[in-house]
Every structure is written in C-alpha cells, then in structure tokens.
Amino acid sequence: MNGDSQSTRTLQTTHFSGNYFRFLWRSFLLATEGSWLFYTWMTLLTAVALVGLNAWAVQVKEGMVLTNMTDHVSWGLYIANFTFMVGLAAGAVMMVIPAYIYHDRRMHDVVIVGELLAIAAIVMCLMFVVVDLGRPDRFWHLIPGIGRFNFPLSMLTWDVIVLNGYLLLNLHICGYLLYMRFLGRQPNPKWYIPFVFISIIWAISIHTVTAFLYCGLGGRPFWNTALLAPRFLTSAFVSGPAFIILALQIIRRTTSFHVGDGPIQTLVNIMRVTILINLLMIISEIFTEFYTGGTHTSSATYLYFGLHGHDALVPWIWSSIVATVLATLFLLCPKVTQNLWMLDIGCVLALVGIWIEKGMGLIIPGFIPSTLHELVEYAPSLLEWKITAGIWAAGLMVYTISLKIAIPIFTGETNLLRQNSKSA
Amino acid sequence: MSDTNSDSTPDQGTSRRTAMKAMGLTLGAAAFAKAIAPLTQWTADLSLDEFLQKHYKELSNDELANVIERLEAETKEEYGAEVEINDYRPEPGVQFGYALNLSICIGCRKCAEACHKENNHDRASQESYIRVLEMDKGSTNLENGNANYKHPVPKSDKYYMPVQCQQCDYPPCVDVCPVEATWKENDGIVVVDYNWCIGCRYCEAACPYHARRFNWTKPQVPKDQINPNQGYLSNRIRPQGAMEKCTFCLHRTRQGQMPACLEACPTGARVFGNLLDPNSTIRWVLENKRVFVLKEDLGTKPRFYYFFDE
C-alpha cells in the first residue's frame, strides 16, 4: 500500500468519473472471475434462483391460490422468512458496535463482512415482501410522491422507510470505503463515520419497526405483547453473529483475507449473552401465557402442544427449542473457541432455532386459531418452498459477489494501479 | 476482457475460459427468459390503462367513467356477461347500522348464500362475507363456536351468530393499509379500491372479525349467474390478488334497498337502517333492546350490534 501512495497522489487530479468507472469495471471483473469452486457455487445458486423466479412468475400469473395460505392463515413462509432476514440484517450491527464504538482494531479489519451481510439480508427482505404481494405490478402505489403512502399511520410504511434507509446507509458506507481503498486513499472519516453511527441506531429501528408490524394488532393476542420488539432484537443479536462466524470461517479457508481469532472470540462473547437473554424471554413469555390461561393462550397452546387435535406446528417449535438450548450449551462451553467444530455446530443450531422461532413459530400461530377461533392449519406448498429457496439463493449470490469484490480490494491485491493477478 | 488477458493466465486458458463464460451467459440468459415466461404472458394481458390507473379518490368524473367503461368491457370479454357498474356515493345525513337478533337466528345460512350470489363471489370456493358460528347456549365465548356444522338446524342446545364486517368506527384494517386502498366512507361503510390494493394482506391480519377476503385467484362465476347490478366499490367482479370485504351491499342500500343478507333471512333476525333517523327500526332496537358488540374491549366501535329478545 505504501508504495502506491506516491502515485495515487498524482492520480487524484484525474477525473472522478473516470476512476469510478474503472472501479465499477474492476468490480465487474472481480465478480465474474474466479476459481472452479466459485463458478460451481455461483452456477448452483443461479439454478436455484431461476427455479424460484419461475415459481414466482407462475404464482403471479395463476394467483396466490398456488400457495397454501388462506383467508385464515393469510401470511406464511414468505413473511416468516422476511421476519428472520430483518433480524439477520440488524444482527450485523454486532460487528459494527465493537469495531466503531469500542475501537476493536481486529474487528474493524473485518467489519465489512457484517456490513455486506446487512446489504444482502435487506435485499432478501425486499424480495420476500414483493413475492408476498398479490399485485406486484402495483408496487409503485407504495412509493411516496407518486403513490399514496399511508404514513405515519401504517407500520408497513415505517418498515418501507427503515428497510430502504438501512440498505442505502450500508450501500453508502461499503461503497465509499471500497472506492477509497481502490484509489489507495485514506477514507475521510467525515464521509462515513456519521453514517456508521446512524446505521447502528437504524439497525435497532429495522427490527423494532418490524416487531411493531405485528405487536400493534389488537385482534392477534399472540403477537400483542410488549416483549415482541425486545425479543426480536435479542434473537437478531444471536442469529446475526452466528451467520457471520460461519461466513468468516469460510472466508478464512477460501480467500487470502486475514481473519484472526479475535473477532470470532468477540462475536462468541456477544452470543453467550444474547442467547441467554433470548432464552429468558422465551421462558418469560411461556410462563405468562400458560400460568394466566384463558382464551388468549389458544395460539400458544396450539403452537407448543396442539389444540383440539391440530398440532402441525408442534414439531417445529420443539425442534427450535431443542436447537436453541443445545446451541446455548455449545456456546457456553469454555472450549468452544478452541474447538471450531463445536462453534460451527453451535452457530448452525442457533440459526436453525431462531429461523423457526422467528418464522414458522411466530407468524403462523398468530393466525391459529383465527380471529373467530376457527382452527385452520398451514404448511407451505412446494411452490412456496421453491420461491423461498430462490430468494435465499439470490441473497447468497449478492453476498458472495459483494465479498468477492470487497476482499481483494481490502487486502490490496487489487487497486487502481494493480491488477488482481490471482483469482481468489 | 482485454484487461484480464494481459494477466498471468496463459492465452489458451483464457480463451477457453472466455468461451465457457460466453456459453454460460447464453445458457443463463435463455434459462432466465424461460423462467419469467409466465410473467411476460401475464403482463401482456395487463393493459397500460389498468397499470397506470389512479386511486379512486383522485379520479375525475371523466376518468372514472372511462375506468367503468373499461371494466364493463372486460367483464363482457372475460365472463361473457353484460353488466352495469355504477359509482354509488354516500347520501348525506345517513349513517348505516346493522343489528341481529340472536334469539331468532336459526343458523340456516341463507344470508351467507344470498351474499355469495349478490356479491358475485367465486363459485368454486363458495366464498361469502358472512360466517355463521354455532355457539353453545350459556356462553358468548367465540372459542366455543363452530362455523363448519353440517347437521340440520337449529339444534336446541345451540344458538347461532352470523359474523360479517362490523364496519368499525375505528377500523384497524384502514389504519394498517400502507397505500390507503381501504377507507371509511361518510355513511360509515368501509370500502376497498380493488384497483389500488397491492395485496399485502396486512388488513386481513389486522381485522379482529375475520371480515376480509383475499382473491387468491381470478374469481370464476358462470355468465348466467353474474349479478349485473354492480357497484364500483362493492360487488363488481374483483381482480385477482386484491382484497375485498362486506360493503353492507352499498349498491343496494345507497339506493334505498335492504342488504341482500337481510332480504334472505327467513326469520327476520336482521335489522338494518339509518342510525340518524329517529323513527328507524334500528334506532328502536338500540334504544329498547340490550345490545352488545363483538370484542368491545378492542375499542374498534363496531356498527354491527347483536341482541337477544329476552
């Protein structure tokens, strides 16, 4: 890097746009050049994403009758995944806080991995919302100015603002840092530090507002609890670090990016606290529901034990609880940071547990029994699984490509003057 | 590509790699086109006028007339039926209210059936805006209700409670709509602009009375069964992917008629009218009977009242 500084100074006089196009072109090359492993991975993701795209096209044409949603259970797998993904996006802030507030140097070096995850996760959130719309062609009705934006009354309009705002914030932060690294220039703190601090507060807001979507509905007692937003945040601060730990280990093995044990240790420490608070909140909710009893407990009874012979969600929620408890035990084990396989299993279990709990275990029982206390069950259709898998694949593509571009720029393997000689 | 050619990879490897990439790109593009083919067919059927149509409240009289003309033509083309769609507006000095006598309702579901026909509901799904709950005598707890009874009615140990849109004065469904596609009209009826709704179904989640219905697919009604007297905001055939709900049959009631569910009731359990008219039957019921509303604790202020004779 030092050797380049002299020449970059002269380059500062060249036109901004010229360099920026070089940056975009180089990014494009980085995104399309790679090892066979990279090509195989991307081809696989493309194939799954196309299957999902086709399923969605069919759903738009034939109608959402092809899903297993009904007037009784009117949100399903899409909104379940949406809720989980908002958590993943918010959870990435658990790297940003140590890096920027506690000035953890080693975390600072890898924080881009979390910020890019936030981008990919928000893109997936937006896709999950779009596929849940009966009329995606009328999407423009939601755009302030040309549509009719029911702000501030509708919590969904708040969600539109905070999710897109969070996406823009992270795009700006990542884009600016990458471009400066590419130019070989020191990033100017005033162009990104304020945005980093805004993004920390913003991360809290995205999951709070998403919880408010549900907990503000008086007709749905299962969601109508003040604990919902704190629970959302706590579980997000488990799932986010869990995903990042797995991503960091893959990056460490497949690229030249240096990922020390420090950031992983910090994330494990965070998870050790958040996963316990999450368990405490689950116990608190279960106690309040079942000790009180009465009609408002019907959904919880249905979820955990089944109601009047209907028990489709019982295996889901107990899998979630077992996975979360096991993950807690693994993570609390003092040897977990030495035995990485234990850490990996713990993270996977935590992710699975929270994916169920924030999705099928939260959205679906809100509708069962229905507001007139009818018991209509729900299990996703094949088409819903295809679309969901497609969005996951598309999100992983976004994440892979953005890491593929960011890592060589961050390691200095490529910059304005130097070509990337070997593909990662 | 010339940038990378100068790199360390040998020329032969690069050209093979480039050829593979070109092939991959072509295959990918072909697969993409194939994948979105159903969508391209669907958008071909969607007219630009429909796509760009403004919100009901923003349409001028001329624009609304054009929209109605288009909808009538589409109904003719797609369903083969000649229909007349009108934009029935609320009358000043009218606030609609509905009451239902639980002592004499026998649970025959004639109201639900009349709703099904009057409002051009999809035939296959047997949709209706009314669900009739069979309740245990001695309890008003909805948890003990059953909407799927299939035996002769009435049963002596049961009573029957039809539930439809309560036309709340504080409707949670209206608050949550992100695009203002649903609102409360001046006569108290909550309506949906079927051509503005984006189909997010947030209102359906918010409604405490299971009053909303979603068009999971394009409704199918045989030509000869279509009710040709249609309201723009009520019983016209709804588009796929939009939300709908009970409108107290505004295409009838704003013309001085009674709702279809009331006319179909064989026991006279239903009372409908203008709450502002002191001589109306609905006023007499509210002043002389002990009435209650569903889920009063939620603060939605329903316009639909239940009462017992004794």
pLDDT recorded at residue A227? 96
Using the Cβ of A22 and the Cβ atoms of chain B, whether some distance falls under 8 Å is answered with no
* Number of separate helices (H) and strands (E) present in chain B: 11, 12
Lowest mean pLDDT among A150-159, B17-26, B170-179: B17-26
pLDDT recorded at residue A14? 53
Q: What is the distance between the alpha carbons of residues B117 and B146, in angstroms, rounded to a whole number?
A: 23
Residue contact B210–A150, C-beta within 8 A: no
- A61, A135, A213 ranked by CB distance to B198: nearest: A135
pLDDT recorded at residue A6? 46
Nearest-CA distance from B57 to chain A in Å?
Answer: 11
Q: What is the distance between the alpha carbons of residues A288 and A292, in angstroms, rounded to a whole number?
A: 6
Lowest mean pLDDT among A16-20, A57-61, A316-320: A16-20
Query: Could you tell me the sign of the dihedral formed by the alpha carbons of A253, A259, A262, A265, in that order?
Result: negative
Better pLDDT: B16 or B119: B119
Q: What is the distance between the alpha carbons of residues A127 and A121, in angstroms, rounded to a whole number?
A: 10
At residue B107, does pLDDT exceed 70?
Answer: yes
Q: What is the distance between the alpha carbons of residues A45 and A319, in angstroms, rounded to a whole number?
A: 27
pLDDT recorded at residue B6? 42
Q: pLDDT (tens digit, 9 = 90+) per residue, A251-290?
A: 999 998 999 899 999 999 999 999 999 999 999 999 999 9
Better pLDDT: A418 or A132: A132
At residue B209, does pLDDT exceed 60?
Answer: yes
- Interface-testing mutation among B130, B216, B245, B304, with chain A (most A C-beta atoms within 10 A): B216
Cα dihedral: A56, A57, A59, A60 (round 10): 120
Q: pLDDT (tens digit, 9 = 90+) per residue, A197-234?
A: 999 999 999 999 999 999 999 999 999 999 999 999 99
Q: What is the distance between the alpha carbons of residues B52 and A137, in angstroms, rounded to a whole number?
A: 10
Lowest mean pLDDT among A39-53, A193-207, B138-152: B138-152
pLDDT recorded at residue B41? 87
Residue B283 CB contacts under 8 Å (≥ 6 apart), including other chains:
B273, B275, B277
Mean pLDDT of B260-266: 98
Beta bridge partners of B146: B134
**Do B205 and A215 touch, CB atoms closer than 8 A?**
no
At residue A346, does pLDDT exceed 80?
Answer: yes
Lowest mean pLDDT among A236-245, A370-379, B24-33: B24-33
Give CB contacts under 8 A, 24+ apart, made by B263-266.
B263/B114, B264/B110, B264/B111, B264/B113, B264/B114, B265/B105, B265/B110, B265/B111, B266/B106, B266/B108, B266/B110
Q: pLDDT (tens digit, 9 = 90+) per residue, A372-386?
A: 999 999 999 999 999
**Best CA proximity match to B135, nearest among B112, B103, B101, B158:** B158
Instruction: Retrieve residue B219's tokens.
Output: 């409704």
Whether omega before B154 lies within 30 degrees of 0, making that bond cis, reads yes
pLDDT recorded at residue B11? 61
Q: What is the distance between the alpha carbons of residues A109 and A91, in angstroms, rounded to a whole number?
A: 18
Q: What is the distance between the alpha carbons of residues A96 and B37, in angstroms, rounded to a whole number?
A: 42
At residue A10, does pLDDT exceed 50?
Answer: no
Residue contact A419–B36, C-beta within 8 A: no
Place B15 in a pLDDT band, splitting at 50, 70 and 90.
Answer: confident
pLDDT recorded at residue B9? 47
- Distance spanning both ends of chain A, measured CA to CA: 19
Burial track A274-305 (b if 16+ CB lie within 10 A, e otherwise): bbebbbebbeebeeebeeeeeeebbbbbbbbe
Q: What rounded mean pLDDT belongs to chain B?
A: 94
At residue B4, does pLDDT exceed 60?
Answer: no
Locate all alpha helices (DSSP H) within B36-101, ordered by sequence: 37-45, 48-52, 61-79
Q: Where on the phi/psi map is residue B290: left (φ > 0), alpha (ψ -120 to 50), or beta?
A: beta
- B131, B179, B207 ranked by CB distance to A150: nearest: B179
Burial class (CB in 10 A: 0-12, 13-18, 19+), A402: buried
Mean pLDDT of B8-30: 78
Better pLDDT: B139 or B257: B257
Q: What is the DSSP string of A74-110?
A: ---HHHHHHHHHHHHHHHTHHHHIIIIIS--HHHHHH
Residue contact A153–B8, C-beta within 8 A: no
DSSP A186: P
pLDDT recorded at residue A4? 47
Would you identify the CATH topology of the domain B96-307? Alpha-Beta Plaits (3.30.70)
pLDDT recorded at residue A30? 92
Share of chain B above pLDDT 90, in %: 86
Residue A404 CB contacts under 8 Å (≥ 6 apart), including other chains:
A30, A31, A34, A38, A424
Instruction: Retrieve residue B137's tokens.
Output: 């005598």
Q: pLDDT (tens digit, 9 = 90+) per residue, A104-123?
A: 999 999 999 999 999 999 99
**Do B14 and B5 touch, CB atoms closer than 8 A?**
yes
Show me where the domains of chain B are located: 2-38, 96-307
Residue contact A133–B198, C-beta within 8 A: yes
Residue located via tokens 């209706």: B128
* CB pairs < 8 Å spanning A and B: 186
Using the Cβ of A298 and the Cβ atoms of chain B, whether some distance falls under 8 Å is answered with yes
Share of chain A above pLDDT 90, in %: 88
Place B219 in a pLDDT band, splitting at 50, 70 and 90.
Answer: very high
pLDDT recorded at residue A15? 60
Residue contact B177–A219, C-beta within 8 A: no
Q: What is the distance between the alpha carbons of residues A258 and A106, in angstroms, rounded to a whole number?
A: 10
**Best CA proximity match to A154, nearest among A74, A219, A76, A212:** A212
Instruction: Retrieve residue A327's tokens.
Output: 């993950």
Q: How many alpha carbons lie under 13 Å from residue B222 in its C-beta half-sphere?
A: 4
Lowest mean pLDDT among A111-120, A169-178, B134-143: B134-143
DSSP element (H, E) containing B14: helix B11-35
Lowest mean pLDDT among A254-258, A407-411, A416-420, B29-33: A416-420
Separation in Å, CA A360 to CA A78, A234, A287, B76, B256: 10, 18, 21, 43, 48
Q: What rounded mean pLDDT belongs to chain A?
A: 93
Share of chain B above pLDDT 70, in %: 95
**Which residues of chain A make contact with B130, given a CB cutoff of 8 A?**
none
Instruction: Retrieve residue B251's tokens.
Output: 């295409």
ipTM of the complex: 0.93
Q: What is the distance between the alpha carbons of residues A346 and A264, in angstroms, rounded to a whole number?
A: 13
Using the Cβ of A325 and the Cβ atoms of chain B, whether some distance falls under 8 Å is answered with no
Q: What is the DSSP string of A91-160?
A: HTHHHHIIIIIS--HHHHHHHHHHHHHHHHHHHHHHHHHHHH-S-GGGGGGGSTTTS---TTT-HHHHHH
- A57, A65, A135 ranked by CB distance to B39: nearest: A57
Instruction: Retrieve residue B82's tokens.
Output: 């000649």
Residues belonging to chain A: 424
Residue contact A367–B205, C-beta within 8 A: yes
At residue B112, does pLDDT exceed 80?
Answer: yes
**Which residues of chain A make contact with B29, given a CB cutoff of 8 A?**
none
Q: Which CATH number fits domain A19-411: 3.40.50.1010, 3.40.50.80, 3.40.50.720, 1.20.1630.10?
A: 1.20.1630.10
Residue contact B179–A422, C-beta within 8 A: no
pLDDT recorded at residue B13? 67
Residue contact A366–B205, C-beta within 8 A: yes
pLDDT recorded at residue A207? 95
- Distance spanning both ends of chain B, measured CA to CA: 88
Q: pLDDT (tens digit, 9 = 90+) per residue, B156-175?
A: 999 999 999 999 999 999 99
Nearest-CA distance from B258 to chain A in Å?
Answer: 26
Better pLDDT: A391 or B47: A391
pLDDT recorded at residue A422? 44
